[in-house]
Amino acid sequence: MKIGFIGLGNMGAPMAANLVKAGHEVTGFDVAGVTVDGVTPAGSAPEAAGGQDAVITMLPNGAILRSVYAEIVDAGTAGSVFIDCSTVDVESARAAHEMAAAKGLLSVDAPVSGGVGGASAGTLTFMAGGSAEAFGLANPLFEIMGKKAVHCGDAGAGQSAKICNNMLLGISMIGTCEAFALAEKLGLSAQKLFDVVSTSSGSCWSVNAYCPVPGVGPQSPADNDYKPGFAAELMLKDLKLSQQAASSVSAQTPMGAHATELYDAFVNDDGKGRDFSAMIERLK
């Protein structure tokens, strides 16, 4: 396929590289002038989007997504599929769908889970919203860039799933950090607590796969001085999106709201640029 890729940052660059490795013809654009081996550089976003079978965007926020889509939909080819892998607010995702549909383009909102490591390894999970036809066209590309893609529903459903998932992740990581911090003060070995919790009712991904204590469980950012696999400021961004979404539909998310407050304080103190699991040091 001929693919345009707009946004070649820490996530977009390895995703584009995996498409190239799979034999696709990729043209890329990034405002920072980033280049990727095997990706043909374009001088602008519309140039990258022109004449492609698929156009993938990986952008920082909803405002930028809307701005970029306003530029690129006119360059799109009728029947092509526009795939947005950014994590943005639900309304911006739906606005992008509407802009694409107005030009006869199929579209999917498909935020990802798996971080930079998953992008490099091609093991991302895609949460997709859009028509069944659009998902069908995008899915072969998801299979290259990731290990799983779930069609969550209509326009915006992918973003809704990502926001709910990451709100739960933020809450569970704080609970995990609290438990291990308490265990330390009680004189309980972190390894012994892991051995119990990982096979008991407190078991969760934040414990089993991403334990915030160095030397406990599978290797995680805690074993690398909390160098980010998923940066605390990105968790804060997603938590804020969850609270924006909750407010828009009058949903009660008291734990999500408190997690947002805690990560906001952490990021604005000394957490920026650190993994979100470094929250344990603040709680200690």
pLDDT score at 75: 96
Q: Compute how many other C-beta atoms are within 10 angstroms of the C-beta atom of residue 259.
A: 26
Q: What is the pTM of this model?
A: 0.92
Decide if 107 contacts 134 (C-beta within 8 A).
Answer: yes
pLDDT score at 115: 86
pLDDT score at 165: 94
Q: Compute how many other C-beta atoms are within 10 angstroms of the C-beta atom of residue 258.
A: 14
Q: How far, in Å, CA of 164 to CA of 155, rounded?
A: 16
Q: How far, in Å, CA of 86 to CA of 98, rounded?
A: 16
Determine the Cα angle at 234 with ends 172 and 9, to 5°. Answer: 140
Show pLDDT as tens, one digit a residue, over the chain (284 residues): 999 999 999 999 999 999 999 999 999 999 999 999 999 999 999 999 999 999 999 999 999 999 999 999 999 998 899 999 999 999 999 999 999 999 999 999 999 998 888 999 999 999 999 999 999 999 999 999 999 999 999 999 999 999 999 999 999 999 999 999 999 999 999 999 999 999 999 999 999 999 999 999 999 999 999 999 899 999 999 999 999 999 999 999 999 999 999 999 999 999 999 999 999 999 99
Give percent above pLDDT 90 in the chain: 98
Determine the Cα angle at 153 with ends 100 and 163, to 5°. Answer: 90
CA dist list (Å): 231 to 82, 177, 208, 262, 275: 27, 16, 19, 14, 4
pLDDT score at 119: 95
Q: How far, in Å, CA of 148 to CA of 143, rounded?
A: 7
pLDDT score at 117: 87
pLDDT score at 28: 98
pLDDT tens digits, one per residue of 232-274: 999 999 999 999 999 999 999 999 999 999 999 999 999 999 9
- Three-class DSSP labels, the chain: CEEEEECCCCCHHHHHHHHHHCCCEEEEECCCCCCCCCCEECCCHHHHHCCCCEEEECCCCHHHHHHHHHHHHHHCCCCCEEEECCCCCHHHHHHHHHHHHHCCCEEEECCEECHHHHHHHCCEEEEEEECHHHHHHHHHHHHHHEEEEEEEECCCHHHHHHHHHHHHHHHHHHHHHHHHHHHHHCCCCHHHHHHHHCCCCCCCHHHHCCCCCCCCCCCCHHHHCCCCCCEHHHHHHHHHHHHHHHHHCCCCCHHHHHHHHHHHHHHHHHHCCCEHHHHHHHHC
Q: How many whole angstroms from its chain centre is CA 95?
A: 19
pLDDT score at 241: 96
Cα dihedral 178, 179, 185, 190 in deg (nearest 10): -130
Which sequence positions are flagged as catalytic? Answer: 162
pLDDT score at 207: 98
pLDDT score at 116: 87
